[in-house]
Structure 1
């Protein structure tokens, strides 16, 4: 089975109150993005595709990939207008890297570059689930009560907490499954809002997405406070 990680670093992070995209901010003397790349570098992943903003490609190559010796990065591609466009661009590069392998024999690990606290255990949990079920996502059971809220700000429903999981990345799919989902998504002119790749597989294939145990420490850097929290976890 060929294993390819797609690491997404195309976001701008408007909630960080910084001119520097969050994935390039320094966290314990290394860029946030470095930690996600290093986790896959140190795993049994065969290769990495890095997707970044068009103006950041050379910087990623020289200041992160080459500087820190992330030699499993085999392609750096430009992101798109939406997150799913960025993933699609990276998927095409991943397919080129696996052109000699049947799609059902390729696992694609899609991970947010702004999640620096990913561990080998999470990667392994996702790999095992994807090998068995074809599609999975790192996730953790929610701890708090969740409310469905009206546009006016009033609680309208309280889902059973035992049925709710907080979704993380990596999300891992057989290449044939995620490729089929993307092809059908782009053919759908009424696709609406799409927030992650598991949602695509749920909507456009009949493959159920398995929850693989993530970690409560596997946070996504979203606000300035998250930088200090992540530093404690690393």
Structure 2
């Protein structure tokens, strides 16, 4: 039987934000939850995933030495190939990371460094979906009723909740597809809120992958309280 070709999957982890909404004296990626820094938790989960071949970490240029010493070396993160300086926006930072993946990368998984509770099965399923469909996005159905509003702050309509999903990361793509999407965004001067919207602009369909509601993004101090609860529950229930 002919052995199937192994696909090289690269993970680009974006952790270049300064976390100004946290109002603390350190970047949110390095705040500890359950005595483990947020970024270290994120990277350890990606490292455990056997299908991820390498990790590129994108951080604020001033944090490169600290990240290398305290996170990468401190937690034995051997899959981290390189630490890259981020750009002015998240989109710029992702692009910088994409430029440094291995030349034979076929699938690239893009994940927020501040989402430390991503589940390994979500990573696996996002890779499988990207291999089959070319692009995938981890998301969860909206629990709330969503209203649209007019310019004066009045309700203009109620959206069908059954069709609404809250997007998360990872978002996973065939490498050339996401590079083409980023290059077009640069040419058009377009800055999106996530990577999936850049691929949408090419008219390419994106497969939704069911995520988990505890795959939260650490943004505010309230998130730290929830994060501690999630960490405690995972240690208790496994």
TM-score above 0.5, yes or no: yes
Question: Residue 70 of structure 1 aligns to a residue in which SS?
Answer: coil
Deviation at 1:128, TM superposition (A): 1.5
Distance 2:150 2:41 in 1: 38
Q: How does 1:1-234 map to 2 (within 5 A)?
A: 1-44=7-50, 45-94=52-101, 97=102, 99=103, 101=104, 106-189=106-189, 191=190, 193-203=191-201, 205-234=202-231
Please, what is the CA RMSD of the aligned residues? 1.0
Structure 2 residues without counterparts, runs of 5 or longer:
1-6, 232-238
Question: Matched residue of 2:227: which SS?
Answer: helix
Q: TM-score, normalised by structure 2?
A: 0.92
Measured in 2, the distance between the counterparts of 1:78 and 1:218 equals 25
Post-superposition Cα deviations, 1:29-63, rounded to whole Å, max 9, x if no partner, equal: 11110111001110021000000000000100000
Distance in 1 (CA, whole Å) between partners of 2:229 and 2:121 is: 18
Measured in 1, the distance between the counterparts of 2:59 and 2:187 equals 25
Rounded Cα–Cα distance in structure 2 between residues aligned with 1:69 and 1:149 = 49
Distance 1:149 1:53 in 2: 36
Superposed structure 1 runs of 4+ greater than 4 Å apart: none
What is the TM-score when the length of structure 1 is the normalising length? 0.93
CA shift, 1:150, in A, is: 2.6
Deviation track 1:159-216 (CA, whole Å, cap 9, x = no partner) reads 1101100000000000010011011111113x2x41000000001x232111011100
**Counterpart secondary structure, 2:193:** coil
